[in-house]
Amino acid sequence: MKNTTLEITGMTCANCALRIEKGLARFPGVQSATVNFAMETASLKFQDGTSTSQLIDRIRSLGYGAREQTDSNHEAGEQERLRSYRRMLWTWLASVLLSAPLAYTMGAHLGLEFLPVPEWLMNPWLQLTLAAPVQFIIGWRFYAGAFRAIMDGSANMDTLVSVGTSAAFFYSLYQTLEGNAHHGLYYETSAVLITLILLGKLMEARARGRTSSAIRKLLQLQASTALVERDGREMVLPLEEVHAGDILRVRAGEIIPADGTILEGESAVNESMITGESLPVEKKPGDSVIGSTLNQFGFLRIRTEKVGSNATLARIVRAVREAQSVRAPIQRFADRVSAIFTPTILLASAVTFLVWYFFLEPQSLSGALEKAIAVLVIACPCALGLATPTSIMAGSGRGAELGVLFRGGEHIERAGSVQVIALDKTGTLTRGEPKLQISESTGLRSVPEILALAASIERNSEHPLAQSILLAGKAENVDLMAVEDFKVFPGGGVEATLSGKTILVGSPLFTESRNIDIAAVSERVEDLEARGMTVVLLSVEQQVEGIFGIADEIRPEAIPVMQELRKLGLELAMITGDNRRTAAVIAEQIGIDYIAEVKPEEKAQAIQEL
């Protein structure tokens, strides 16, 4: 069994999607077919004996275009949609210019005597000249769509529009040729209706383009090239030419091109674009790394393991696309209604004409025709077939921009019945940016002096903890001094020489590993760590002289949001990879249950246990 997603062109309404879906479902070997009008895609599951090219040919035989969806042609498709949108915009503007004079004459029909209507605007030949291009050039797309539907033995929105506007136009043309210049002319009806429906199409296209930007933003996270070791040489290759098993060289400050395992080097990797965690993760040989994350400090030599469609970022993009393509239960119901809606409306319009012509206004052809046309054009099922998929598309797209991935429309729909909400800590309940909370001296120097020393050294580091100390120093206007022999110890701290003295800034564990006694400050270190802070020590010439407490601040909106969610009767839980002490402090301040020390791959299990 195989799966594929095709990009489809030429659809004009939700019934077009249903027509393609039915045509594919009847094709030998196809197990399931789901066509999404809003996303212009078809998701297919079919047997091994059936090929993708056969399915594309089947779609083309129905009068539509199709091609297999890949990252490369997806971008080309986006460019084509942008060009199509611009063409549609200019077409609509032309329709507005031609329809505006006709729309103005409607004031006379409505009895709005305060609107002066020049006699020349009421000339039937002028109205015919204005309405004909709108009807047959601008509105040709509706005739084409209706013809395709009729050839397939069905009816769609284009059928309603073309039948309704054609009835109005040709009746007016008949009256014009008969010389009835001021009786029963409905040129403005056909032209204005086509203009308004095109406006709706324009808004639909704009919504699709806005939602697709979420996927584009995800794809922009990845590197475009990679430095690869091959045949004893180093070469820069496009990402598409990198294979599993290749050896990559990644320098500090570069994006890691692909998922893999570190063979050589130590560094801290910023994985926030994938995991949401703001603090960099310390990496050493044997550790795995994720493509599209940022190598912040050291050189890394990596063996690639997952590339292309198997890479983490590609799977995230695929999850977003699948969520936008899969129908929610309510959408399937709307599609079933749309399938029978058009024939029903055609029948209702015919009945309306007959009742009006023979019973309500006997022998009044214009009156009966006007009411029948009104039934046709007002009942267009466009919104019925488009509202739900567009809502799912917009919701999943906006969610992706905010880091929330829905695995399908069903889950968006079921969100209304959620009873428990599980939240990550870093970047969700907290700002995701460590901030210096406490600066203390052991008594050998003043607090401004120890802050100046630490900030002078940390300004050479890009680590978020280092940046929090540097920002605090700048806020206090301390004097930053030049340092020498700056060294970084990934996962521990930094060392430098200032005025001939060796100074270390790092974690208590790192400080102890450099044979510095921290017994005098160990109680204070434990106290700060119990309050959920990360402790950094400043040591000068093997003696601890400063203590810094750094913590991720709680978002100001976090507590009121949690209170509002509780008022809705929801249970709340925080799931975090942080240690229990830090988690407990944050949870107590916010007033939320918590599960701590949970690895990223274990969070799904933790949610199931809730």
Active site residue 152: no
Distance CA 332, CA 12 (A): 19
Q: Please check whether residue 271 is in contact with residue 277, taking contact to mean a CB–CB distance below 8 angstroms.
A: yes
Q: Is 227 left (phi over 0), alpha (psi -120 to 50) or beta?
A: beta
Task: With H, G, I as helix, E, B as strand and everything else as coil, classify residue 287.
Answer: coil
Q: Please check whether residue 263 is in contact with residue 301, taking contact to mean a CB–CB distance below 8 angstroms.
A: yes
Scan for tokens 């399931």, then name that residue. Answer: 32
Distances from the Cα of 9 to the Cα of 3, 13, 39, 65, 84, angstroms: 20, 11, 10, 5, 11
DSSP 110: T
**Positive or negative, the Cα torsion across 415, 416, 418, 424?**
positive
Distances from the Cα of 56 to the Cα of 66, 115, 145, 285, angstroms: 6, 55, 19, 47
26, burial (CB in 10 Å: exposed 0-12, middle 13-18, buried 19+): exposed
Catalytic hit among 246, 424, 552, 578: 424
Query: 420-423 and 571-575: which strand pairing?
Result: parallel
Q: Which helix (H) or strand (E) holds 14?
A: helix 14-25
Q: What is the DSSP string of 175-228?
A: HHHTT-TTSS--HHHHHHHHHHHHHHHHHHHHHHHHHHHHHHHHHTTS-SEEEE
Task: With H, G, I as helix, E, B as strand and everything else as coil, classify residue 61.
Answer: helix
DSSP 427: I
Task: With H, G, I as helix, E, B as strand and everything else as coil, classify residue 328.
Answer: coil
Written as one letter, the residue type at 564 is E
Q: What strands, in cross-sheet order, belong to the sheet with 225-230?
A: 233-238, 225-230, 247-250, 300-306, 259-264, 288-289
Written as one letter, the residue type at 514 is R
Scan for tokens 């091994």, then name that residue. Answer: 48
Catalytic residues: 424
